[in-house]
Structure 1
Amino acid sequence: MDPVIENNPGNLLQLVERSAFVGFWRFDARHGALYWSQQLARLHGAPEGYMPTFEHALDHYAEEHRAEVAQRLRACQEQGTPFDIEVQVRTLQGRRIWVRCVGQPLRAEDGSIAGAEGLVQEIAPAGYQPGTLLRHTVSMGGALGSGEAFVTIDRQGRISYANEQAEQMLGAAGEPLLGRRIWGFFQKRARLSLEERFVHALEKREAIELEEMDAQVSHWLELRGFPFGAGLALHLRDVSARRRAQQHLTLLEGSIARLNDIVIITEAAPFRSPGPRIVFVNEAFERRTGYSREEVIGQSPRLLQGPDTQRAQLDRIRAALEQWERVRVDLINYTKAGEPYWVDLDVSPVWDDTRRLTHWVAVGRDITERKRDEEKIQYLAFYDPLTQLPNRQMLLDRLNRAVDEGGEVQDGALMFIDLDNFKVLNDTLGHQKGDLLLQQVARRLRNCVAKGDLVARLGGDEFVVLLENTAEKPLDPLTAAQVVSQRILDGLGEPYVLPGYLHHSTCSIGVTLFGRNPSSVNELLKQADLAMYQAKAAGRNAVRFFDPEMQAVATANATLATDLRQAWRENHLKVEYQPQVGMDGNMSGVEALLRWEHPERGIVGPAEFIPTAEETSLIIPIGHWVLEAACAQLAVWARRPDRAHLSISVNVSVRQFRHPEFIDEVLSCIRRAGIVPNRLKLELTESLLAENIDANMAKMRNLKDLGVRLSVDDFGIGYSSLSYLKRLPIDELKIDRSFIKDILVDGNDAAIAGTIIGLCRNLGLEVIAEGVETEEQRAFLARQGCHRYQGYLFCRPLPIEELEAFIDSAAGGAGVPLRPEPSSVAS
């Protein structure tokens, strides 16, 4: 066995002192003495004989690494803990370099710790990122010296010039070099690769990067090539001594028993069965594998392999060793107890001075934790951490494969699933219970599909199911989607047991089929999404399949949204006002109504574009603009005694009301206009009462504290709760026009209108009916107790200029009823 392997301290120091790239240090704590080798002094840019104190030596490390080095040294001396770290040092000239610093306890004859000793090895320049280089690779760097061999070659690879050093390095028995091809001077197994590199460099006019090649004259040459005229200029350097030093360093690392790296040295037998036998392992090997040195010496490294050891990586090792080449792989090994672990394994051949292969050295770093972290990162990239379902990224990858024309999937179905009223649960019971519900939904969805189908979570309460018709699972997609969607409706409709609460929930499902007609992934997602919203519109707890009519509606909505944005930018929106009249015919106020003057379609009513404004959030700036216009008009009327009593009602959308700055915006508009707040009336939709009732009531009280009056618009057609209604700080209810239209012929409409009027009377609220178009309707309402009206019987919505003229002409002065002639009603 090589004497280096015996871990003899004398050999250790001798080999280190012979190495131009490794520094040795030793600290004797008993005498406070620190020894630096000459190589370590040179590494720090210090003169020969430089010997710092132990405390001063720490100053040579970069500031950000100094504390770590001090802590590692302290643990080594106090607990005997070896260390192996990569840090930066600063030379005396201020240059930063990365080094590998290895330390182990220095023990006295009685076994007590007397200090510490170790190695410092330069591994890379300042730009290096730790952990990216091989642990025992030696970085030489530097420029090629002027005493190097130099040759030029032509486009055929023939030497056209050689200096004296080249003749001495490559020449044999005085044979001339000129005219000989350069790759002929290297070993046969390297010749083909080298010839390919030269031919490529000559054709592409590219430089040849630093290479170390095995020459025929039994030494290693370092080679660099640069384009020169029609050929290449080559620099050659004999690096045989350095290569031997590298090999000694490899063995040296294996001889330090307490290194963290696992070291295995085998004999240089052929790799075929029975293969090389182990001749040495270090203590780190024994600690990690559970095998003692006696158990493995003479055995094959195959005893570390197991069921998950990658055959492809083993084949890479075998192929490299058969070519006497170094190889590095990430490999799964097994401990004596059968536990798998990952190792970053670097296997290198070792030659003696006569170029005879003597050993294989395998140095491995345990990377099990890193692999686990990588698996976690991979999992987080493709799975939802809450539900453990695939996420959007995995869905898109799978869907792209499914719609690929060259794939095996012939056709399939994509299903969008959205939980109904999930936000209500989150807002009332908290996000923790919402998360528990989502986890239960995920489990139920998995049970609703067959093996091979994909269930994914897009985010929030949105899920997707991908059904694929494959050769292993042939089924008509339409039939499969119908069966699975009904199974999902039933499964998700069962009660959910949450802590202290039994929750009932439903879902809405949109389905689109693919495969028969080419569709992109984005198109399929949009189609399923559209179908899901159709299921929502149908009353929830329903399934809808995509059809082209849905797409046409969606396209029209998108066009409408684009036109609306342009209308807002170009001031095509305007406000009109419709009078509100009392029983005596006197006008008590007006309602501000938004209108859109479309350049092609004419006047567009709010019922057509307000939903689009809500969806695109344009309702926020538009609603603020209407509020400012109403306050400004109230300020104008306040300066006229015959108009000062008038109020203006402004419609407020749900999204606008829930905006966190809505209260501040109302207050700002009132203050800028300088108006009396009770002349401003805000009409709120009844849907506000459906959820977040406590938060909404608090905001309504804030508005009432400002002096603003509140009205509930379209009362009776949405969500109604009398228990909440009596708590609301409102002033007025508006009977929806849908009940007024047939109030004279439909007993139900008449009963509902009468009930609302009676409710307001009992709760002390004002009531107003909208959509009043005939005197008979007004008279009926008056008999029921409703004495305020709005509708075409009195006046259609008018621009402010026309409204002012209409008031003046119809009234002829204050107090005259606004009762137009019958002929004007139709207008």
Structure 2
Amino acid sequence: MDQAQRQRVGAGNIVFREGDAPTTAFLIESGRIAVSTLQHGEECLLAELGPGALLGEMAVLDDAPRSATALALTDCVLTPVDRSQFAERLAAADPVVRALLMSQLKRYRSALARLTGEVDGLHSASESDAGAMDKIRLESELRMALENAALDVCLQPILHIEHGVVAGYEALIRWQHPERGAVSPGEFIRLAEETSLIVPVGEYVLERVCDMLAELQRRGRKPLPFIALNVSARQIEDPALVERMLAHLRSRGLPPACLEVEITESLVLDRPEIAALITCCHEAGMEVALDDFGTGYSNLGPLLSLDFDRIKLDQSFVRALDRPRGVALVKAVLAMTEALGCEMIAEGVETTDQLRMLGEMGCDYAQGWLTGRPVTLEDVLRS
């Protein structure tokens, strides 16, 4: 590092004083520094820091006046760290981690104030802190919901357009919170994906789907419909995923073809393990669908090497069928899927005109509120 960026502080000199503005933190390159404060008029040593330690970072983080004085015990070399460097990283940090850090800082400030005899007021959580704490609370409640099997798995019908019959279903997870009411899947699935919770959530859905298929088979449903379930990025990274799916199917006497794997388009790029997953699925007799095609991540390159069985067209294309350009785009995607030997499922079908146009264009399947909203297994069995 450029020596000009470092500061040399001689033994016995003050680096900063209690009450100073928190403009800079320091990384101690060499030497030793004593950190002290006044306790009832007498000096109280808080810490003695050496090479590799950060000095003065707490005041910089919470933008509060220095709560202690730093004195060089020996000749020291320090690397200044500007507060903007901390601010940028703190702003980009996970909000939960940021809230925990700031909570610890506030607790330290309170303890220090009591130690020095100063009056310390009650710290209230900021709006961002409150949001992070709510996130922590929701994560704990999601763990409990998993343990208590309180998450619901619903089935949304997928209509075979030409034959006019329901060929299969997509499994959708729902959470009816006892106090919050219905929690948006986007909220709790995103929360699960930020932690390791997405793995047990995925396993939970897999087990429920296999139980549903077993009940449909027991009730004599023929032909047995397929049920598609979406897999997360963390599940895709697990090389034993397909074998675990097969184990669940075998234990219930179910054929592999009744389970379909859906991979969201945004996960396809730069993930070499997806090709291996598709190969394993095909070898086992399961089909694989590319979900949310055309949602802004579209890159036709992966379709050259990834052998998807179905492509699910995003609902934004279906909604555009009332415009010539929308019709042209859907026809183009249909031509592409046919050339690739894939079937196409159009998502978000809500009107009879949309269904009619898709059928006339040769689209294989339709999914949406027109063809059926997500329902329970009991509703499926009654239909």
Structure 1 pair 785/394, CA: closer, same or farther in 2 (3 Å)? Answer: farther
Q: Counterpart of 1:589 in 2: which secondary structure?
A: strand
The 8 Å contact of residues 260 and 289 in structure 2, kept in 1 or not, is answered as yes
Q: Counterpart of 1:593 in 2: which secondary structure?
A: strand
Q: Counterpart of 1:767 in 2: which secondary structure?
A: strand
Deviation digits for residues 65-100 of structure 1 (CA, Å, limit 9, x no counterpart): xxxxxxxxxxxxxxxxxxxxxxxxxxxxxxxxxxxx
Question: How far is 1:593 from its partner?
Answer: 0.9
Q: Counterpart of 2:349 in 1: which secondary structure?
A: coil
Pair 1:666 & 2:245 matched: yes
Report the counterpart of residue 342 of structure 1 in structure 2.
none
AA matched with 2:380: L
AA matched with 1:605: S
Report the counterpart of residue 777 of structure 1 in structure 2.
354
Distance in 1, matches of 2:327 and 2:369, equals: 20
Pair 1:709 & 2:368 matched: no
Report the counterpart of residue 300 of structure 2 in structure 1.
722
Q: Any residues of structure 2 matched to 1:199-214 within 5 Å, and which?
A: none
Structure 1 pair 744/520, CA: closer, same or farther in 2 (3 Å)? Answer: closer
Q: Counterpart of 1:743 in 2: which secondary structure?
A: helix
Distance in 1, matches of 2:180 and 2:101, equals: 32
Q: Any residues of structure 2 matched to 1:497-508 within 5 Å, and which?
A: none
Distance in 2, matches of 1:720 and 1:601, equals: 36
Report the counterpart of residue 332 of structure 2 in structure 1.
755
Q: Any residues of structure 2 matched to 1:291-330 within 5 Å, and which?
A: none
Structure 1 pair 406/567, CA: closer, same or farther in 2 (3 Å)? Answer: same
Report the counterpart of residue 82 of structure 2 in structure 1.
467
Deviation digits for residues 532-583 of structure 1 (CA, Å, limit 9, x no counterpart): xxxxxxxxxxxxxxxx664454333223212212221222101111111112
Distance in 1, matches of 2:253 and 2:334, equals: 34
Pair 1:405 & 2:63 matched: no
AA matched with 1:696: I
Structure 2's unaligned 5+ residue stretches are 1-10, 12-28, 32-50, 71-76, 92-97, 106-125
Deviation digits for residues 671-704 of structure 1 (CA, Å, limit 9, x no counterpart): 11221111110111112222232x3211221121
The 8 Å contact of residues 734 and 770 in structure 1, kept in 2 or not, is answered as yes
Question: How far is 1:773 from its partner?
Answer: 1.0
Q: Any residues of structure 2 matched to 1:520-669 within 5 Å, and which?
A: 522-523=101-102, 550-583=128-161, 584-669=163-248
Report the counterpart of residue 363 of structure 2 in structure 1.
786
Q: Any residues of structure 2 matched to 1:346-361 within 5 Å, and which?
A: none
Q: Any residues of structure 2 matched to 1:406-425 within 5 Å, and which?
A: 406-407=67-68
The 8 Å contact of residues 654 and 687 in structure 1, kept in 2 or not, is answered as no
Distance in 2, matches of 1:393 and 1:593, equals: 50
Deviation digits for residues 20-44 of structure 1 (CA, Å, limit 9, x no counterpart): xxxxxxxxxxxxxxxxxxxxxxxxx
Structure 1 pair 567/715, CA: closer, same or farther in 2 (3 Å)? Answer: same
Q: Counterpart of 1:803 in 2: which secondary structure?
A: helix
Distance in 1, matches of 2:197 and 2:99, equals: 30
Q: Counterpart of 1:703 in 2: which secondary structure?
A: helix
Report the counterpart of residue 766 of structure 1 in structure 2.
343
Question: How far is 1:588 from its partner?
Answer: 0.5
AA matched with 1:650: L
The 8 Å contact of residues 344 and 365 in structure 2, kept in 1 or not, is answered as yes
Report the counterpart of residue 115 of structure 2 in structure 1.
none
The 8 Å contact of residues 216 and 381 in structure 2, kept in 1 or not, is answered as no
The 8 Å contact of residues 312 and 345 in structure 2, kept in 1 or not, is answered as yes
Structure 1 pair 407/739, CA: closer, same or farther in 2 (3 Å)? Answer: farther
The 8 Å contact of residues 401 and 407 in structure 1, kept in 2 or not, is answered as no
Q: Any residues of structure 2 matched to 1:480-495 within 5 Å, and which?
A: 481=84
Structure 1 pair 796/763, CA: closer, same or farther in 2 (3 Å)? Answer: same
TM-score where L is the length of structure 2 = 0.69
Q: Counterpart of 2:372 in 1: which secondary structure?
A: coil
Q: Any residues of structure 2 matched to 1:681-696 within 5 Å, and which?
A: 681-693=260-272, 695-696=273-274
The 8 Å contact of residues 176 and 183 in structure 2, kept in 1 or not, is answered as yes
Question: How far is 1:639 from its partner?
Answer: 4.2
AA matched with 2:179: E
Q: Counterpart of 2:322 in 1: which secondary structure?
A: coil
The 8 Å contact of residues 734 and 768 in structure 1, kept in 2 or not, is answered as yes
The 8 Å contact of residues 732 and 767 in structure 1, kept in 2 or not, is answered as yes
Question: How far is 1:625 from its partner?
Answer: 1.8
Q: Counterpart of 2:143 in 1: which secondary structure?
A: helix
Structure 1 pair 394/742, CA: closer, same or farther in 2 (3 Å)? Answer: farther
Question: How far is 1:641 from its partner?
Answer: 4.9
Question: How far is 1:663 from its partner?
Answer: 2.6
Question: How far is 1:721 from its partner?
Answer: 2.8
The 8 Å contact of residues 579 and 790 in structure 1, kept in 2 or not, is answered as yes
Structure 1 pair 452/577, CA: closer, same or farther in 2 (3 Å)? Answer: same
Q: Counterpart of 2:227 in 1: which secondary structure?
A: strand
Deviation digits for residues 330-360 of structure 1 (CA, Å, limit 9, x no counterpart): xxxxxxxxxxxxxxxxxxxxxxxxxxxxxxx
Distance in 2, matches of 1:406 and 1:650, equals: 55
Structure 1 pair 399/796, CA: closer, same or farther in 2 (3 Å)? Answer: same
TM-score where L is the length of structure 1 = 0.34
Distance in 1, matches of 2:99 and 2:88, equals: 21
Question: How far is 1:803 from its partner?
Answer: 1.9
The 8 Å contact of residues 650 and 681 in structure 1, kept in 2 or not, is answered as yes
Structure 1 pair 521/591, CA: closer, same or farther in 2 (3 Å)? Answer: closer
Report the counterpart of residue 380 of structure 2 in structure 1.
803
Distance in 2, matches of 1:784 and 1:552, equals: 51
Structure 1 pair 717/521, CA: closer, same or farther in 2 (3 Å)? Answer: closer
Report the counterpart of residue 321 of structure 2 in structure 1.
743
Distance in 1, matches of 2:364 and 2:104, equals: 53
Identity of aligned residues (%): 34
Question: How far is 1:706 from its partner?
Answer: 0.9
Distance in 2, matches of 1:761 and 1:687, equals: 22
Bigger RCO of structures 1 and 2 (CA < 8 A, at least 6 apart): 2
Question: How far is 1:407 from its partner?
Answer: 4.4
Report the counterpart of residue 303 of structure 1 in structure 2.
none
AA matched with 1:715: F
AA matched with 2:174: R
Distance in 1, matches of 2:291 and 2:175, equals: 21
**Count of residues paired in the alignment:** 304
AA matched with 1:648: I
Q: Counterpart of 2:268 in 1: which secondary structure?
A: helix
Deviation digits for residues 225-276 of structure 1 (CA, Å, limit 9, x no counterpart): xxxxxxxxxxxxxxxxxxxxxxxxxxxxxxxxxxxxxxxxxxxxxxxxxxxx
Structure 1 pair 599/698, CA: closer, same or farther in 2 (3 Å)? Answer: same
